[in-house]
C-alpha cells in the first residue's frame, strides 16, 4: 500500500486524468494507492447527475466526471481520499468497499465521541441528519478509483448552490462543527487522511490474511 499526500487546491481535471491513467496501466502486481488532497473549488457531476440539481453555480466550475452518484462540491478545507484499489485482487465487492469507506469515517468520529450514521438509499456518512462525508467510485475490470470526501474545516455555503447528491435541502456539516475539541491538528488533511487510509488498509489486509 502506498499513501500519497498530493497537497491542497489540486486541479480536478488533472487529478482525474492521473487516476484514470494509473488504473488503465496497473497490472496484477501493482500496489494499491491512497491519494490524500483537497481540490480548488469545483462542482462535480457524477454519472447520474442531473443539470437541474445545480441550482446556481455562479463562479464555481461544473465538470462531468466518471464516478457514480450525482452532484457534489469540493473545495479547500475538505479532505478528499482517492482509493485506487484492485478490488478483485482483494476479494471485495463494490458495495463492501463503499461500506468500508463509510465505516472508516464512522469509526474515526466514534473514537472522538461523535456519532456518525449511514442513511438508507443515500451513501455517505451523516451526523444528526447532516451529511459530513460523500462517496463515489468508478470500477473498471475490478479496479476502482475515486473515493470519499470528508468535510473538515471549510466554507459550506457552496453546497447551497446545489442539491447535494441530488437531494434537495439536504443539510451538510463539517468536522469543525461536530467535534467539541477541534483544533488546528484536526484540520490537517494529511493527518486525518492517513488515519482513514490506515483503517482501510487494515481492512484490506484482513481480507488477504
| b/e sequence 50-60, b meaning 16+ C-beta within 10 Å | eeebbeeeeeb
Question: Is 178 a residue of the active site?
Answer: no
Report DSSP state, residue 25.
H
How many Cβ atoms from other residues are within 10 Å of residue 191's Cβ?
Answer: 13
Q: How many helices (H) and strands (E) would you count in the chain?
A: 5, 9
DSSP 94-107: HHHHHHHHHHHHHH
Catalytic residue among 10, 144, 165, 178: 165
Q: d(Cα 46, Cα 31) in Å, to the nearest integer? A: 27
Residues noted as catalytic: 165
Amino acid at each position: 500500500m502506498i499513501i500519497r499526500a498530493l497537497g491542497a487546491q489540486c486541479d480536478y481535471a488533472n487529478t482525474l486524468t492521473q487516476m484514470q491513467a494509473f488504473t488503465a496501466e496497473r497490472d496484477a502486481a501493482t500496489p494499491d494507492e491512497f491519494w490524500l488532497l483537497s481540490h480548488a473549488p469545483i462542482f462535480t457531476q457524477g454519472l447520474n447527475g442531473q443539470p437541474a440539481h445545480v441550482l446556481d453555480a455562479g463562479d464555481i466550475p461544473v465538470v462531468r466526471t466518471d464516478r457514480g452518484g450525482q452532484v457534489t462540491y469540493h473545495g479547500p478545507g475538505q479532505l478528499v481520499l482517492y482509493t485506487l484499489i484492485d478490488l478483485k485482487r482483494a476479494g471485495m465487492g463494490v458495495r463492501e468497499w463503499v461500506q468500508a469507506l463509510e465505516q472508516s469515517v464512522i469509526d474515526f468520529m466514534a473514537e472522538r465521541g461523535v456519532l456518525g450514521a449511514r442513511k438508507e438509499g443515500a451513501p455517505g456518512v451523516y451526523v444528526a441528519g447532516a451529511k459530513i462525508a460523500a462517496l463515489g467510485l468508478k470500477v473498471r475490470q475490478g479496479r476502482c478509483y475515486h473515493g470519499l470526501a470528508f468535510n473538515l474545516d471549510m466554507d459550506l455555503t457552496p453546497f447551497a448552490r446545489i442539491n447535494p447528491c441530488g437531494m434537495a435541502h439536504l443539510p451538510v456539516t463539517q468536522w469543525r462543527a461536530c467535534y467539541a475539541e477541534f483544533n488546528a491538528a484536526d484540520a490537517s488533511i494529511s493527518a486525518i487522511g492517513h488515519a482513514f487510509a490506515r483503517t482501510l488498509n487494515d481492512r484490506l489486509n484482513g481480507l488477504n490474511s
